[in-house]
Amino acid sequence: MLGKMFKSLFGSSGDGNKGASKATTVDYDGYLIVAQPQLSNGQWQVSGRIEKQVGETTKVHTFIRADTLPDEEAAANEMIRKAKLMIDQVGDSIFD
């Protein structure tokens, strides 16, 4: 319990990404959605990236939303929901 508290106060790992969470990935319609909520002022900010392999190139769209949620898992789920909506609405033009 104390370890979890210290992680939330001082970052989730010792890799230099203070306040970043472990990535949650979802395959969706040929895209890879990577949810990476960021700890910001005690809340989890909705952020992550959408990737798509095109030939030998990996296209990446990174975004950080203003939305914050008190729970890391909820922020990851919200990022995945928003990413799916974005893919459905604009498709590959997300990478332009």
Task: Read off the pLDDT of residues 45-66 as tens digits, 9 standing for 90 and up.
Answer: 999 999 999 999 999 999 899 9
Q: How far lies 83's CA from each of 3, 19, 70, 77, in Å?
A: 32, 21, 20, 10
Q: What is the mean pLDDT of residues 30-43?
A: 96
Strand spans (E) along 1-96: 24-28, 31-35, 38-40, 43-54, 57-69
Domain covering 2-95, topology: Double Stranded RNA Binding Domain (3.30.160)
pLDDT digits (tens, 9 = 90+) for 9-29: 444 443 344 455 578 999 999
pLDDT digits (tens, 9 = 90+) for 73-93: 999 999 999 999 999 999 999
Question: What pLDDT does 46 receive?
Answer: 97
Question: What pLDDT does 2 receive?
Answer: 41
Domain boundaries in the chain?
A: 2-95
Q: What is the DSSP letter of 20?
A: B
pTM: 0.76
